[in-house]
Structure 1
Amino acid sequence: MGPITFRDVVIEIFLHEWEFLNSLQKKLYRDVMMENYSNLVSLGHSISKPDIIVLLEEGRNPWMVVRKEARSWHTDLYRSPG
């Protein structure tokens, strides 16, 4: 076992699941994801800010990421290093 990463604490949710959540459940999801990321940073993990956190900070839905090379919509929870 190595150190804890954001992938270890992320809660993946897909569009078809998101659509069934009410506004309080969506807020809870956002709060938990932001807290998970904040806790990792506070422990001294120097990680790039994951795309999902950027989206949530902007008030956007978590699956709205387009990869330039693929030009397709998909869930992209992790920002590639560099």
Structure 2
Amino acid sequence: MYISSESLIVILFVGLVAGWLAGKVVRGAGFGIIGDIVIGIVGAFIASWLFPRLGFHIGGGIVAEIIYSAIGAIILLLIVRLVRGGGRF
């Protein structure tokens, strides 16, 4: 698999924005640039696995990818909060 430098920049940008949005929604603050990117990219993987199984589709384009990734990242952060926080939101 070959990823061009432009594709890598788009992936990092989407991950950064999605992770930042998820951090704002769940915790009220971001996790730093690296943390936001990692959370956003993992959220994108969660969303790409979960949403087709649920029949959920909102469209194409970069805005849709940011929304998908942010929702996946929010799900990730809620699961982490449940595991680490003893079941409290």
Normalized against structure 2, the TM-score is what?
0.33
> Per chain length, whose mean CA-contact separation is higher, i.e. which structure has more relative contact order (CA < 8 Å, sep 6+)?
2
Q: Where is the helix percentage greater, Structure 1 or Structure 2?
A: 2
The TM-score normalised by the length of structure 1 is 0.35
